Amino acid sequence: MTNAVVNSDKKSLNWVALKVAHFCLQYGALILVVLLVLGIALVSPDFLTPGNLINVLVQNAAIGIVALGMTFVIIVQGIDISVGGNIALASLLASIAMSSFHLPWYVGILIFLIMSTLVGWINGFSVSKLGMTPFLVTLATLTVTRGLVLAIGNGQSVYGLPPEIKFLGSGRLGPVPVPIVIMLLAFLVGHILLSRSVFGRQVLAIGGNADAARMQGLNVNRTRTLAYVVCGAFVSLAAIVLAGRYNAAMPDMAEGFEFSAIAMAVIGGTSMAGGEGSAMGTFVGVLVIGLINNALNLLGVSVFYQGVARGAVIFFAILLDTLRRHLAESEK
């Protein structure tokens, strides 16, 4: 009788420990945001000022939108490390059209959209139809787009964009900067797509088990391609915001965006194994990375050590995803 009670107590403790671990891993990013806010606020009195918090959102608006697009790709067991080159190429072509050829701003926006979604389609077609490895394909695309930027622009920046584009990157709607509005609208659209649409359900189903989804009649290749196209569309929006903010297209635009965007998505709960992720979770991941970068700047940490910190965050993101998957497997 005593052994039975002891075993029962052990099972209860194990069950509680499992639930606590599950909660911490599931909401780890949100918990980290709260701890970061409290910790940094104690060290730096300037941190919680409205101006600084708005600055954090503005500085991370473009990369946050990229992270949102990356979420769709990772859920279908893909990856896209070409997003930085995609932004640079789309920005260059659109800027040349508007600055050198004096085409209207709305034509420039159309060029942003067409160029970025075309790159997304090429990536998606190569992965889903040709069966190529996502990392290697998008690495090749990154190299090609960065090379085209240097070749077409001769390594020079293109300045003098129309005021409408500049407004989208640095304007204000009342007290709220336009980039923040664009980012929030993008995440709202992303949330609806993932959680309220047939396409979103197909993305999650295919990422979870592609073979089972195929047996249920889902077009796996088409959905995977569309996930990359959606990523490209969000990348075009990020490119508009970034070009408008700088009032220029520069050869080194968005360098390093790809890995920060992946970290944001994974910290927000998107599984590198596919089948799991949300727009709102990725938004929390954007806040985590944004707050960390802001804290390092406020505390006067050397740029060199900031790179070390960002690498550690990416490592933490991958570790968090691995622990989540191991916990999920242990519960089966």
Report yes or no: 285 and 267 within 8 Å, Cβ to Cβ: yes
Number of domains in the chain: 1
User: In whole angstroms, what is the distance from residue 2 CA to residue 160 CA?
Assistant: 81
Contacts (Cβ under 8 Å, ≥6 apart) of 1? none
Please report the pLDDT score of residue 25 as a whole number: 62
* 228 part of a folded domain: yes
* 7 part of a folded domain: no
Please report the pLDDT score of residue 301 as a whole number: 86
Please report the pLDDT score of residue 33 as a whole number: 73
Q: Show the tokens assigned to 180.
A: 């923040």
> What is the secondary structure of 237-281 as a DSSP string?
HHHHHHHHHHTEE-TTTTTTHHHHHHHHHHHTT--TTSS---HHH
**What is the CATH number for 319?**
1.10.3470
* 169 part of a folded domain: yes
pLDDT tens track, the chain, 332 positions? 455 544 555 556 566 666 666 666 666 667 777 887 888 888 888 888 999 999 999 999 999 999 999 999 999 999 999 999 999 999 999 999 999 999 999 999 999 999 999 999 999 999 999 999 999 999 999 999 999 999 999 999 999 999 999 999 999 999 999 999 999 999 999 999 999 999 999 999 999 999 999 999 999 999 999 999 999 999 999 999 999 999 999 999 999 999 999 989 988 889 999 999 999 999 999 998 998 899 888 888 888 888 888 788 778 777 877 877 777 676 65
* 271 part of a folded domain: yes
3 state SS of 223: helix
Residue in the structure block whose two tokens are 């949330």: 191
- The pTM of the full predicted model, rounded to 2 decimals, is 0.91
Instruction: For 185, list phi and psi in degrees, rounded to 5.
Output: -65, -40
* 12 part of a folded domain: no
**Which residues partner with 176 through β-bridges?**
173
* 15 part of a folded domain: no
User: In whole angstroms, what is the distance from residue 313 CA to residue 289 CA?
Assistant: 8
Pairing verdict, β 172-173 and 176-177:
antiparallel
* 164 part of a folded domain: yes
* 28 part of a folded domain: no
User: In whole angstroms, what is the distance from residue 15 CA to residue 4 CA?
Assistant: 16
Structural domain of 140: 33-331
List own/partner pairs for 219-224 with CB under 8 A and 24 or more apart. Answer: 220/128, 221/128, 221/129, 222/128, 223/76, 223/199, 224/76, 224/78, 224/124, 224/127, 224/128
